[in-house]
């Protein structure tokens, strides 16, 4: 008996570990790479133009917006080089030409607009303007609720919902599979999604996320089973498939 007691203890400990592991897998978070990446999602804060290049992104289809920090230079005219941030009204202030509206323009379009102002004002003959984006502050999406790292994340290209959730650390232990997406444009209706337990089983729910979107992962409700049952406890209702029989 003296030799059997430690073995029983080890077996009991191992079984307890397996049960805990099973619950951990059941509440498994979305891992990076769970879905094909259609865009780029960076960490909290801002993303520079260098980050765009590192991820094989081009700035041709990315439009400037409020908060973006720009380095503007004019070839062979170092006196006009300046660093400026796009204001809330979409304008930037530049030497000689005063305010120029650049929000909603691509880099090429913004460069052409500044060149035209320099030419029309007679300040520079045949100017060649170059804009370098230090911070893409306008290309942020916000994720809140039951994820491990809620906050703002910079989105470039065409990122998807599962990419954002993965970048935010995945679902928390209290997360439901209900997600609400609110767009920046007030006229757009919020999108409500009920995700599958295994998100890869329903790729149609992996919708595109745009700059300015707010994603809310809702908390799961709890149902308590008490009384004459083997293990009275509370269980997360993280799906619509939980029945009385399953809870018992």
Select from 46, 48, 61, 40 the least CA-distant residue to 134: 48
Residue 91 to residue 108: CA distance in whole angstroms: 16
pTM of the model: 0.59
Beta-strand relationship, 39-41 and 98-101? unpaired
Q: Which of 86-90, 113-117, 129-133, 228-232 has the lowest mean pLDDT?
A: 228-232
The DSSP H or E segment spanning 12 is helix 4-26
pLDDT surpasses 70 at 3: no
169-213 pLDDT, tens digit each:
999 988 888 999 999 877 788 999 998 878 788 889 999 998 889
Calpha distance 144→181 (Å, rounded)? 10
pLDDT in tens, 36-63: 344 566 665 444 444 444 443 445 678 8
């Amino acid at each position: 008996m003296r030799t059997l007691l430690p073995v029983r203890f080890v077996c009991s400990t191992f079984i307890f570990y397996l049960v805990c592991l099973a619950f951990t897998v059941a509440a498994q978070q979305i891992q990076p790479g769970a879905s094909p990446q259609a865009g780029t999602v960076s960490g909290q804060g801002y993303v520079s133009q260098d980050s765009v290049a590192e991820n094989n992104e081009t700035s041709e289809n990315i439009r400037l917006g409020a908060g973006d920090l720009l380095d503007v230079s004019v070839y062979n005219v170092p006196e006009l080089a300046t660093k400026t941030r796009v204001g809330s009204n979409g304008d930037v202030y530049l030497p000689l030409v005063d305010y120029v509206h650049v929000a909603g323009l691509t880099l090429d379009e913004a460069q052409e607009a500044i060149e035209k102002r320099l030419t029309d004002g007679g300040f520079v003959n045949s100017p060649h303007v170059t804009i370098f984006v230090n911070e893409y502050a306008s290309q942020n999406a916000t994720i809140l609720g039951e994820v491990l790292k809620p906050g703002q994340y910079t989105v470039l290209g065409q990122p998807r919902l599962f990419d954002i959730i993965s970048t935010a650390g995945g679902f928390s232990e209290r997360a439901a599979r209900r997600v609400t997406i609110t767009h920046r444009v007030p006229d757009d209706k919020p999108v409500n999604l009920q995700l599958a337990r295994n998100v890869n089983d329903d790729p149609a729910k992996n919708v595109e996320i745009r700059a300015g979107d707010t994603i809310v992962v809702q908390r799961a409700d709890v149902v308590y089973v008490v009384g004459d049952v083997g293990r009275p406890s509370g269980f997360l209702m993280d799906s619509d498939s939980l029945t009385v029989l399953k809870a018992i």
